[in-house]
């Protein structure tokens, strides 16, 4: 699947515009951030219309802006906004042919296996001990354990797959 770069960029830009308008009412500190984000997004769409070749740079700039917007959002929107932003980024890469839909689809079981391993890791005593230690160091222990368990589970899956590849070779 590979659409024109312009079509891919405009599709993602429109989705981002909807997201920006949706979160505008929840901005904690200043409405100026979301105003500038929308302005940059619209300006990028205009530039992309005249110079489709710049779509990569415009995408990078707007991704950075969207991440900054997400950074200023309240915690209760973090999960939904991060998922929506991740999906749009992946969609853009899919539409541009940088990711193959079939391979992405086949990779879903690997994510699921990683999820199961991550859940199993969370039940191990070492994680509980680490969680308590991190809590005393002033770092958000929930986030830290989340990152650690996902990294570990992916690492385990990676080792299994590399060994599998070496075995079949």
Q: Does the protein bind another protein through residue 79 (CB under 8 A)? A: yes
Determine the straight-line distance between the first and last CA of the chain, rounded to whole angstroms. 30
Smallest distance, another protein to C-beta of residue 77, A = 8
Binding another protein by CB under 8 A: which of 49, 82, 124, 128?
82
Q: Does the protein bind another protein through residue 27 (CB under 8 A)? A: no
Which two three-digit tokens encode residue 29? Answer: 């500190």
Give yes or no for a contact between 145 and 130, defined as CB atoms under 8 angstroms apart: yes
Q: Does the protein bind another protein through residue 107 (CB under 8 A)? A: yes
Smallest distance, another protein to C-beta of residue 50, A = 26
Give yes or no for a contact between 49 and 7, defined as CB atoms under 8 angstroms apart: no
Q: Does the protein bind another protein through residue 89 (CB under 8 A)? A: yes
In the region spanning residues 112 to 151, those forming contacts with another protein, defined by CB under 8 A, are 114, 139-140, 143-144, 146-147, 150
Of 75, 71, 84, nearest to 16 (Cα)? 84
In the region spanning residues 148 to 167, those forming contacts with another protein, defined by CB under 8 A, are 150, 154, 157-158, 161-162, 164-165
Sign (positive or negative) of CA dihedral 94, 97, 98, 100? positive
């Amino acid at each position: 699947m590979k659409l024109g770069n312009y079509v891919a960029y405009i599709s993602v830009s429109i989705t981002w515009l909807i997201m920006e308008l949706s979160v505008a009412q929840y901005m904690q500190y200043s409405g100026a951030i979301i105003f500038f984000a929308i302005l940059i997004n619209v300006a990028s769409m205009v530039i992309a219309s005249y110079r489709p070749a710049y779509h990569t740079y415009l995408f990078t700039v707007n991704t950075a802006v969207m991440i900054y917007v997400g950074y200023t959002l309240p915690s209760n929107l973090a999960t939904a906004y991060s998922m929506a932003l991740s999906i749009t980024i992946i969609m853009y890469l899919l539409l541009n042919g940088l990711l193959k839909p079939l391979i992405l689809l086949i990779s879903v079981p690997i994510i699921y296996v990683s999820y199961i391993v991550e859940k199993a890791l969370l039940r191990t005593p070492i994680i509980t001990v680490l969680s308590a230690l991190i809590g005393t160091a002033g770092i958000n222990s929930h986030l830290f354990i989340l990152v650690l368990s996902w990294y570990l589970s992916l690492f385990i899956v990676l080792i299994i797959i590399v060994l599998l590849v070496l075995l079949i070779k």
